[in-house]
Every structure is written in structure tokens, then in C-alpha cells.
């Protein structure tokens, strides 16, 4: 009987160790998946930042509903990224260079959104709804400043620029 109890104790000990290893494996796998997801989200937001830089005027000129939906989506994604990066940093699963990359990305996106908001405000001030352009009754179209059409030439009359 003594040998049976030793066998049972060994089996129970092995089962506990196996269970702990399995749980540790799942926990580690889940954390690694979170880290991989975070890095994918960093890449996606960097792509979004490149699109903002590339299509700045088009984004600023979008309709209000479209722009607000895009802005909310971008702000939500950046906040989620900041929260997850902080959680992974606390757990020690994200390296310092990735944390700095996230911080730089968040600051840059915030600055671009502020710049887009300012540009939209400037466009709205220049093109109030229902207003007409300076050169007559035609509406102000496409951001063209019609005041430049009526301005004097920057060179003396009769001399063409070279």
C-alpha cells in the first residue's frame, strides 16, 4: 500500500505541475497575443497618420458628419492603444522602445487632429453657408480665393513674368 500512495502522490504532483504549466502557457500565449495585437495596432495608426499627412486637405474638406465619425474613430483607437500599451508596460510585456514609439505616435496624431480641426475652422470661416464669392453671385467653390483674381499684378503692366 505504501507504494500505491507514493504512486498517487507522484501522479497528483505531476498533474498539478502539468495543470500549472498549461495555465502558464495559456496566460503567456494570451499575453503574447495582446502584445502582437498592440504592435499591429501601432502599425495601423502609423498608416493612418501617413494618410492624414498625405490627404490633409481632403480630410479637412470632408462633410461634417463624415469628418466627425472619422475623428471619433481615430480618437477612440488612440485612446485604446494608450490604455493597452500602459497595461502591457505594467506587466513588463512591452519594451521601452515600443512604449516610446506609442507615445510619439499618440502625440503626433493628437497634433494632426488639432491641425485638421483648425484647418476645418478656417475653411468654414472662409466659406460660410449660403454666402457668395467676392467676384459676384457665384458661390465660393473649391477653396479658390477669388480675391486674387481681382488683385493687381505683382509686376508692372506690360511686362510678363519670366
For position 74, which CATH number holds? Answer: 1.10.132
Is 161 among the domain residues? no
Domain range holding 81? 36-129
Our count of domains for the chain comes to 1
- Assess if residue 9 is contained within a domain: no
Distance of CA 156 to the CA centre of its chain: 50
CB atoms within 10 A of CB 50: 10
* Residue 47 domain-assigned (yes or no): yes
Task: For the chain, give the number of residues.
Answer: 162
Average per-residue pLDDT for the chain:
75
Per-residue pLDDT tens for 74-104?
999 999 999 999 988 888 888 889 999 999 9
pTM, entire model:
0.58
* Residue 72, in any domain of the structure: yes
Fill in the DSSP letter of residue 45.
Answer: H
Amino acid at each position: 500500500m505504501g507504494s500505491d500512495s507514493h504512486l498517487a502522490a507522484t501522479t497528483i504532483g505531476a498533474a498539478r505541475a502539468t495543470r500549472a504549466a498549461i495555465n502558464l502557457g495559456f496566460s503567456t500565449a494570451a499575453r503574447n497575443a495582446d502584445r502582437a495585437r498592440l504592435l499591429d495596432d501601432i502599425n495601423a495608426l502609423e498608416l493612418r497618420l501617413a494618410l492624414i499627412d498625405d490627404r490633409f486637405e481632403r480630410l479637412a474638406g470632408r462633410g461634417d458628419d463624415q469628418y466627425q465619425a472619422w475623428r471619433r474613430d481615430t480618437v477612440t483607437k488612440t485612446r485604446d492603444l494608450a490604455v493597452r500599451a500602459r497595461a502591457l508596460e505594467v506587466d513588463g510585456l512591452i519594451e521601452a522602445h515600443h512604449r516610446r514609439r506609442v507615445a510619439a505616435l499618440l502625440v503626433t496624431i493628437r497634433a494632426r487632429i488639432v491641425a485638421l480641426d483648425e484647418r476645418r475652422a478656417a475653411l468654414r470661416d472662409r466659406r460660410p453657408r449660403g454666402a457668395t464669392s467676392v467676384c459676384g453671385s457665384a458661390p465660393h467653390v473649391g477653396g479658390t480665393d477669388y480675391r486674387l483674381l481681382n488683385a493687381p499684378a505683382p509686376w508692372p503692366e506690360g511686362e510678363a513674368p519670366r
